[in-house]
Amino acid sequence: MQERYAEMAAKPASENAKSRRVFGQARKPPKMLRAGLYARVSTNDQQTVPLQIRALREYTARRGWAIALQVKEVGSGASQRQLREQVLDAARRREIDVVLVWRLDRWGRSVGDLLATLQELQHLGVGFVSLTEALDLTTPAGRAMAALLAVFAEFEREILRERVRAGLAHARQNGKILGRPTTAARHTAEIRKLHRDGVSKAEIARRLQIGRTSVRRILG
């Protein structure tokens, strides 16, 4: 056994290098991923930007990734994500390999919006990581969690549809007329009364603030 170890130690470096080959091909070093960092805060919470950026950069360094893009966005409304589009555009141009955010609500406006953007990134072959939720779509477990998000998004849409249906049913039960009202039809009785009183069609239209064509159509 000692002789075997001695033979292995005595082998030249060229022969030992062969052991690092796979099917005769030199094993390539792992590719360094290019990360796009996205931090977002509200107008009244701008002091947390350095905290987010520091955490994102430290995580990137631990994973051995290169920072290709860093975006900081300040917005007061849930619907404002203009600078986020820069990150998505970089993903579409294949300039980044993974998107890194502090928290999911910093990235998505809603569950539906979050799911739509994650699906687009997945289609582009770009990973996604959220530090707070420990969501890492570069791993099989993370991709399984993304599938759960799709279920939640459909659940949210179904709840909204059910609420709309319940609201319409309640309105009908209370005798409310649904749909867009016809302006002239609501004034039919008044139009005919004014016409009987000798008011001209043009004057009727002016008083009731409706079109002359509608007045003529009702009066025949």
Active site residues: 42
27 CB neighbour count, 10 Å cutoff: 9
In whole angstroms, give the CA distance from residue 97 to residue 105.
21
How far is residue 44's CA from residue 67's CA, in Å, rounded to a whole number?
Answer: 28
Pick left, alpha or beta for residue 184 (phi over 0 → left; psi -120 to 50 → alpha; otherwise beta).
alpha
Token digits of residue 35: 């990360």
Spatial distance between the Cα atoms of 62 and 136, rounded to a whole number of angstroms: 14
DSSP states of 50-86: HHHHHHHHHHHHHHT-EEEEEEEEE-SSTT--TTHHH
Q: What is the DSSP letter of 185?
A: H
Contacts of 132 (CB under 8 A, 6+ apart): 102, 103, 104
Distance CA 194, CA 191 (A): 5
Structure token digits, residue 199: 């008011």
